Structure 1
């Protein structure tokens, strides 16, 4: 049996989004909502100790170091979002909703180097992790949505991705 990884589902999903004519604007909209929902659910996880332990590596400065290797950087970034999704309490939602971010991350890495955003991303992750760990669901949702709106704006600006162009299957 293969590894359960939202990146695998994301690759297959990108094919279907492409075939359906789904646009990057629709993908960004779905991604912002999905990650906001996962952050909200993560913060509502009833086990405070589990929440805090899962978010601890992202609150501490030592976990957010510069990575020369793009693959290592992307893995660290995805690890944060995976940790949040894992606290959501529903494996189907976590796996399904993480795919949007996997598609965006893959496309950004193919077309540009997202490490330029690393300080902003890690500061955002730290603040979201604090809110999730503390159980502040509304704040966690708002911070996650604002975080991803910023990433989506970066993608639009830097990658010249027209929001009405179809999601590519890479």
Structure 2
């Protein structure tokens, strides 16, 4: 087994993740059809719409890429090299940040109290989770055979005896 995060399960998970996020972003616009009048009256809804407009084509491109990769049986090593480029990283981060912020502003459209509550609880959650995330990153740096990809829920570990331990997503 190679020592990298990418394998066919990882690629399949990413395909479904990006397709799901694409559907989520597209559904926003279907719901917006019934509330189009509110768009001109709410700055938060306008910002949310712009952010979903950014996320929609990016998730489409990411989903399409992973569908084509899976259909063409491209090796995981080639896909990893393609996706570890600066532009791929920026595109992925922009898509996820856009949909996250779009959702935050959508909450703000319905209630300013909920908006500030969401921001506060998110900040507190990240504050307390940050030490754990740092430990995971450090463990990944110190153990060359341990690779973790949080987005695809894929963990591969090859111990020094050559025993493979693999976890590839939740079964339920």
| TM-score normalised by L of structure 1 | 0.28
Which structure ranks higher in relative contact order (CA pairs < 8 Å, sequence separation ≥ 6)?
1
* Largest Rg, 1 or 2: 2
Higher strand fraction: Structure 1 or Structure 2?
2
| TM-score normalised by L of structure 2 | 0.28
